[in-house]
Structure 1
Amino acid sequence: MSDDYKEKDNILEDIDKEKSEKENKEKDSYEEVCYICRRPESKVGKMLRIPNNICICSDCMQKTFDTINSNGMPYMDLMGLNPNMMNLNNIQKDVPKNQKLKKKKTEEERAEAPKTFDIKNIPSPHVIKGKLDDFVVGQEQAKKILSVAVYNHYKRVATDTMDDIEIEKSNVLMIGPTGSGKTFLVKTLAKLLDVPLAITDATSLTEAGYIGDDVESVVSKLLAAADNDVEKAENGIIFIDEIDKIAKKKNTNNRDVSGESVQQGLLKLLEGSEVEVPVGATSKNAMVPLTTVNTKNILFICGGAFPDLDTIIKSRLNKQSSIGFSADLKDKYDSDPNLLLKVTVEDLREFGMIPEFLGRLPIMFSLEGLTRDMLIKILKEPRNAILKQYQKLLALDEVCLEFDDAALEAIAEKAMEKKTGARALRAIIEDFMLDIMYEIPKDINIGKVTITRDYIEKKGVPQIEMRGSHYSNFLLEGNN
């Protein structure tokens, strides 16, 4: 028995040793942060370490000594070095992990490390579009434009220092009705390229000095997505949604702190510059460390629904075609579902976007409004289609779930009425699948369920087939 105990002790010691080595290695990969000024080691140089893992930079230490020499002790009180005021044991022992910065590689390490992006490893546009086709239905032109834009951007990142000709950055502006797949396209793209992605909302941004998030917070979110690794974040993608909400406010006498001012604040980020961003927070303050991020190689994709933009486009088109014998009728464009595809830069300027902002988004395209046929395809064709998800859930109960074509048409028609795009599909399916998901597990003899149009329209019941029998109709509880 003693040998068994010794063997167990040895195993436990090995586990503890391996765990401590892993923790030390992880700890060594992050920079130290000054307890007083919150600046990282890469900015202030080597720090002085005092008990309880507190690090202080030389500048703050010098200020402390200067204060002592001038018969004042506020810095001593702040650090807990005055025994009458504070105790070292009560001081925060370590910086929160979300505020720790990964150490930057040295020149030698950077030379030896494999390149983040190699031209040979960047997927070509047709490969990117093929992957997007697996997840996104329709929007062929949008997927083509986005694939080429991303491919060219990361070619630029890969060859930045290899040639005398500097390629300018091409940021993207996506315009499309709600539920047309703007955010989903970007998420799929980032997953395909395996780069950090930050999705942020323009509605929370305000001019510096006002309540809300500063424009630097969008870069701070990307840094968090890259696990506080600055070098990794500098090759990421930032998607700013609801970009139409920062348009210039019309007919207002108040300062436009969340409109034109935000557009002007974003100019330096879109063009590419070094900005100081807070680490582990969305606003700068004395207790949050700051780091410098270069946005030169960050791809910015902006998206928005731009409500009432179709009215501006319609007005422009009617004005152009309302003179002469070949004049068009004024209501010619009233029923055009894809009016946004005819958008121009002048239309966006009239909407409230400033010219300098639009000039930094050279690639601009619109997504098509979803038709009934597209909604039916969205239900059943993508790799993660919602019907496939429910079929998988019921397959785990050994039940086969099917939808007839009329039922899919009924779901698409209901979604069209809601006018919220593909988002409406989930709400509709959740509604009529509730009773089925509740009742089916009660009876282990049920083998197959077929959803019909009558059931979607609440005029009938689904078809249920028992194991080893023919189709028969059963009334599920809760359905009349």
Structure 2
Amino acid sequence: MKQEAASHKLEKEEQKEASKAKEEVEKAQGEVEPTKKDTGKNEGTDDGYEKFCFICRRPESVAGKMIELPNNISVCSDCMQKSFDAMSSGQIDYSRLMNMPGVQIFNMSDMEQAIPKQQKVKKKKEGEEKTPLIDIRKIPAPHKIKASLDEYVVGQEYAKKAMSVAVYNHYKRVATDSMDDIEIEKSNMLMIGPTGSGKTYLVKTLARILDVPLAITDATSLTEAGYIGDDIESVVSKLLAAADNDVEKAEQGIIFIDEIDKIAKKKNSSQRDVSGESVQQGMLKLLEGSDVEVPVGANSKNAMVPLTTVNTKNILFICGGAFPDLEGIIKERLTKQASIGFGADLKDKYDHDKTILSKVTVEDLRNFGMIPEFLGRLPIIFTLQGMNEEMLIQILKEPKNAILKQYQKLLALDEVKLEFDDGALSAIAEKAIKKDTGARALRAIIEEFMLDIMYEIPKDDNIGQVTITRAYIEGTGGPIISLRGQEVQQIEQKNG
């Protein structure tokens, strides 16, 4: 009887264990199935942004399918395999790490914070045709582009005409992508002009008219790869940021590189030229058009910055610089042509020539320190004139957002009318020419004498009009102030 009871008890325990094992299997299957559903759901919902490997920072389009970890962390299969290999073949006993002093177990949720949200990059859509930002039928003709530039920029007629034609041809090339067997070359530009002549302002106005992404960057911070400073690819990185990290949009934008004369080849330098000729060499591939790996949201490539590939074939590059010593090089070339005999030019013949920059040649730019390969990729070279008194007066009052109009609007909000007589405008222009910083000097001069007016006028509600005179600009008198009642009397007398 005891043996039967023992065997019966054993059978019951086996049945219990079998049923328990069965329940665990069913439970496991039940847990797996929803996971499959969830993953299917996640695969179906695509937010249109690239996934980047947390370790090597390569995008999914380059590294292949990502392995999803908790807290939205993605790792590529290569890095995952390397991690497993390192753990299995390494000399460290990971089971003993827990008890070692100073070792902390990291939290996966903290890793998510290491990936900045703004570094998301939109996926390139495969199989779909690229839609140009500007429709070929809607591209404004050169005369319309120039007319729009005229509303904001005074003078510089040749520069505006050259720019309008170059941009029109460039966006025709982008919109058509190819013209049968004839491939149209890029219309990259080089602007040469003294400081304050409107180089940057022209480009800003142009981008606003065309409504395309624009990146304005400075060549002074660029250095050769491996040195402290910005990498050459950072100019494209800024355009990508201006296009909201949309690669397709960025590939049809405009990049303006200012202070391009600062990367000229250094003369008689025994040190390594990391910010001169080497930067020009590095920019050749960008200007001509090629696929470049660009850091997203940073100026240089490092371990924590994701990279994406941008094709620069349809990006319009506009370079600008003051080229301060170029005038001397042009004068030297012109006077050297006939330096001896009766036909010789006087040494000081070109000293007061305001249009000396317009006589520039590619040879002069080579003597300045620009390498021929770099100049060859900037086929359209034009110059901007220095500012004279007449142009400065026009800048003060004619453009849509002229400086005087800005102050008139500010005082109009206080219900005060601001007027400038002709003598005052001439005095401001004369002062600006002495400063020799072009149109930039105007704002500084106006800020100086408008300070007291902007401070005193809100004190008295009776003031109706302020007229700025030449005497006030030169410091020998004051502005003419009219009270509101006096204005009304004058109007009544005229009507009478």
Residue 326 (structure 2) aligns with: 309
Q: Is the 8 A contact 2:133 2:212 kept in 1?
A: no
Q: Is the 8 A contact 2:427 2:473 kept in 1?
A: yes
2:178 paired residue among 161, 165, 170: 161
Q: Is the 8 A contact 1:67 1:73 kept in 2?
A: no
What CA deviation, in whole Å up to 9, does each residue of 1:113-169 have, x standing for no partner? 754332211111001000000000000000000000011111111122352111111
The alignment partner of 2:159 has SS state of: helix
Residue 375 (structure 1) aligns with: 392
Q: Is the 8 A contact 1:247 1:259 kept in 2?
A: yes
User: How far apart, in 2, do the equivalents of 1:68 and 1:328 lie?
Assistant: 80
Residue 227 (structure 2) aligns with: 210
Give, in angstroms, the shift of residue 316 of structure 1. Answer: 0.9
Aligned-residue RMSD, C-alpha: 2.1
Residue 167 (structure 2) aligns with: 150
**AA paired with 2:347?**
K
User: How far apart, in 2, do the equivalents of 1:363 and 1:383 lie?
Assistant: 28
Q: Please show how residues 213-292 of structure 1 align to structure 2 within 5 Å.
A: 213-292=230-309
Give, in angstroms, the shift of residue 84 of structure 1. Answer: 5.5
**Residue 101 in structure 1 maps to residue 118 in structure 2:** no
Residue 28 (structure 1) aligns with: 47
Q: Cα gap change, 1:123/1:243 in structure 2, threshold over 3 Å: closer, same or farther?
A: same
Q: Is the 8 A contact 1:67 1:74 kept in 2?
A: no
**Residue 61 in structure 1 maps to residue 52 in structure 2:** no
User: How far apart, in 2, do the equivalents of 1:74 and 1:428 lie?
Assistant: 73
Q: Is the 8 A contact 2:154 2:394 kept in 1?
A: yes
Give, in angstroms, the shift of residue 322 of structure 1. Answer: 3.0
**Residue 327 in structure 1 maps to residue 344 in structure 2:** yes
User: How far apart, in 1, do the equivalents of 2:316 and 2:437 lie?
Assistant: 28
2:105 paired residue among 49, 61, 85: 85
Quick one: percent identity of the two aligned structures? 75
User: How far apart, in 2, do the equivalents of 1:161 and 1:74 lie?
Assistant: 61
Give, in angstroms, the shift of residue 52 of structure 1. Answer: 1.4
**AA paired with 2:262?**
K
What CA deviation, in whole Å up to 9, does each residue of 1:263-314 have, x standing for no partner? 1111111111111110010000011001111111111100000011101111
**AA paired with 1:126?**
H
Residue 416 (structure 2) aligns with: 399
**AA paired with 2:362?**
V
User: How far apart, in 2, do the equivalents of 1:26 and 1:360 lie?
Assistant: 44
User: How far apart, in 2, do the equivalents of 1:338 and 1:396 lie?
Assistant: 42
**Residue 298 in structure 1 maps to residue 315 in structure 2:** yes
Q: Is the 8 A contact 2:255 2:318 kept in 1?
A: yes
Give, in angstroms, the shift of residue 27 of structure 1. Answer: 8.5
Residue 140 (structure 1) aligns with: 157
Q: Is the 8 A contact 1:202 1:243 kept in 2?
A: yes
Give, in angstroms, the shift of residue 91 of structure 1. Answer: 2.2
User: How far apart, in 2, do the equivalents of 1:339 and 1:453 lie?
Assistant: 32
User: How far apart, in 1, do the equivalents of 2:45 and 2:418 lie?
Assistant: 48
Look at both structures and tell me which one has the larger radius of gyration over its CA atoms. 2
**AA paired with 1:65?**
F
Residue 4 (structure 1) aligns with: none
What CA deviation, in whole Å up to 9, does each residue of 1:316-349 have, x standing for no partner? 1111233443333221111111210111111111
Give, in angstroms, the shift of residue 96 of structure 1. Answer: 1.3
**Residue 193 in structure 1 maps to residue 210 in structure 2:** yes
The alignment partner of 1:292 has SS state of: strand
The alignment partner of 1:165 has SS state of: coil
User: How far apart, in 2, do the equivalents of 1:201 and 1:119 lie?
Assistant: 31
Residue 8 (structure 2) aligns with: none
Q: Give the count of matched residue pairs.
A: 439
Q: Cα gap change, 1:48/1:424 in structure 2, threshold over 3 Å: closer, same or farther?
A: same
**Residue 338 in structure 1 maps to residue 355 in structure 2:** yes
Q: Is the 8 A contact 1:463 1:471 kept in 2?
A: no
The alignment partner of 2:407 has SS state of: helix
Q: Is the 8 A contact 2:220 2:263 kept in 1?
A: yes
**AA paired with 1:305?**
A
The alignment partner of 1:401 has SS state of: strand
Q: Please show how residues 14-53 of structure 1 align to structure 2 within 5 Å.
A: 28-53=47-72
User: How far apart, in 1, do the equivalents of 2:262 and 2:240 lie?
Assistant: 24
Q: Cα gap change, 1:34/1:332 in structure 2, threshold over 3 Å: closer, same or farther?
A: same
Q: Cα gap change, 1:75/1:212 in structure 2, threshold over 3 Å: closer, same or farther?
A: farther
Q: Normalised by the size of structure 1, how large is the TM-score?
A: 0.88
**Residue 420 in structure 1 maps to residue 437 in structure 2:** yes
User: How far apart, in 1, do the equivalents of 2:357 and 2:134 lie?
Assistant: 35
